[in-house]
Chains A and B, each alone.
Chain A
Amino acid sequence: MDVNKNSYTFTFSAILVIVVAGLLAFVAESLKPMQKENVKLEKMQNILASVKVEATPSEAEEKFKQYIVEQKMLNAQGEVVAPEDMGPFDVDVVKQYKTEAPADRLYPLFVFEDKGERKFIVPLAGKGLWGPIWGYVALDQDMETVYGSTFDHKTETPGLGAEINQDFFQDKFIGKSIFNTNGEFVSIEVAKGGTDVEGNAHMVDGISGGTITSKGVGEMMERTLKVYVPYFKGNQKAAL
């Protein structure tokens, strides 16, 4: 058999490609449920991490059920909505940030409760210097003081922008307030690295050399939290 004939080359390539495609499709499909489960558990871990609850992947689901007592979803106007086809946990804010117009995005809210204390966890999505960044910010019972936050990124510069997922940066948000003393929404600004933010309740120090990523964190916080303001205002008194 002449393996260098054109017809043979075409046949060989066709068979190879079909076999490979079939094999990969089969493997991908059969492993998909487990992969989805992993992604789900990671999301639960991240949500819990924003309120400082450490959970290993194996205990994430249990702890999530235990602590997250309520899940809500807001539309862009800040009204609570409950579409039938997806729950708040199913909303992928990172994907929506990329594909949906701001008015069409959905805004989930997770309510955490431990020993009678409630915290309100808001998922964030935005962009850094090189690619998407995302995170969760947890507000305290009063719905204005930051209780904790976690951020992560896809491709920020290691050692600079990528540091947003480190504790030293995330902890700077703790105790800051998203409303000013007149009760107006001001969010929390991330200043250029090295700025003196001592005593300023609405500003945190960014990462030197990672200014654009740091600004991205501030931007996504401002843009996202703004949507929740009507809800927070409406429920602040009830919560206290």
Chain B
Amino acid sequence: MSETAEAQVVAKEPKEPLFSKKNKKLLSDPLNDDNPITIQVLGICSALAITVQLKPTFVMSVSVLFVMIGGNLIVSWLRNLIPSRVRIIVQLVIVATLVILVDQVLKAYLYDVSKQLSVFVGLIITNCIIMGRLEAFALGNKAWPSFLDAIGNAAGYAWIMLAVAFARELFGSGTLWGFQIVPDFLYDFGYADNGLMILPPMALITVGIIIWVQRSKNTKLIEEN
């Protein structure tokens, strides 16, 4: 019954190209105008905790990308089947399952990184970005736009994370991805790594600086008064 009705509706609408303007916006908006971290200020907790070095940050970003895509796709496919009264619990179960999968795979294949990330992989479950996208987007959209939305938001999360980690590792430890970048002769001249960069508060300040730069460049974001 409902399937035929839906088919008719679809037949009436002209088929949307895969990368229509609307779909492209799903990808690009979270990178800048609607960035989950700098604009929506979601998922900040992990920004503080895991951005001391690039490598764990990268793994964390990939993990979030995986969970995000998986969660958005599954919820989008099931959106007409999920009873609305238990939808939050269902979303939570889906996200938790994906996160446990990531955690188990990391423990098996990337043990040292998994130890560094420790509880924060598990905390992806509570990452507000993921639940937010499931509830606000995947539950009401088809699989393809949900997929794009997931990539967009995960990438928006990832680039801020990586930018923060880049600054913190470079100035805090003088290395990038574990390799020494600041040459020895600079240390001989009295240059010292900034120990403050390694501490969580500097992550917040770095995010703050990114927000500042972003707002000054992107006039759309500046509120009146």
B101 A24 Cβ-Cβ under 8 A: yes
Chain B residues in 8 Å Cβ range of A13: 86, 89-90
Residues facing A in B72-92 (CB within 8 A) are: 80-86, 89-90
Residues of chain B at interface, number, CB under 8 A: 22
Counting CB contacts under 8 A, is B107 at the interface? yes
Counting CB contacts under 8 A, is B104 at the interface? yes
Given contacts A38-B107, A57-B111, contact A27 B86 (CB under 8 A): no
A24 B83 Cβ-Cβ under 8 A: no
Counting CB contacts under 8 A, is A28 at the interface? yes
In-complex Cβ contact of A17 among B84, B93, B100, B199 (8 A): B93
Counting CB contacts under 8 A, is A99 at the interface? no
Interface secondary structure of A, over-half rule: helix
Given contacts A35-B107, A57-B111, contact A9 B101 (CB under 8 A): no
In the complex, number of A-B residue pairs with CB atoms less than 8 Å apart: 52
Counting CB contacts under 8 A, is A42 at the interface? yes
Chain A residues in 8 Å Cβ range of B199: 159
Residues of B bordering A, CB below 8 Å:
80-86, 89-90, 93-94, 97, 100-101, 104-105, 107-109, 111-112, 199
26 contacts between A and B (CB under 8 A): A3-B80, A3-B81, A3-B82, A3-B83, A4-B83, A9-B83, A9-B85, A12-B82, A13-B90, A16-B90, A16-B93, A20-B93, A20-B97, A24-B97, A24-B100, A27-B104, A28-B104, A31-B105, A31-B108, A34-B108, A34-B109, A35-B107, A35-B111, A38-B107, A38-B111, A159-B199
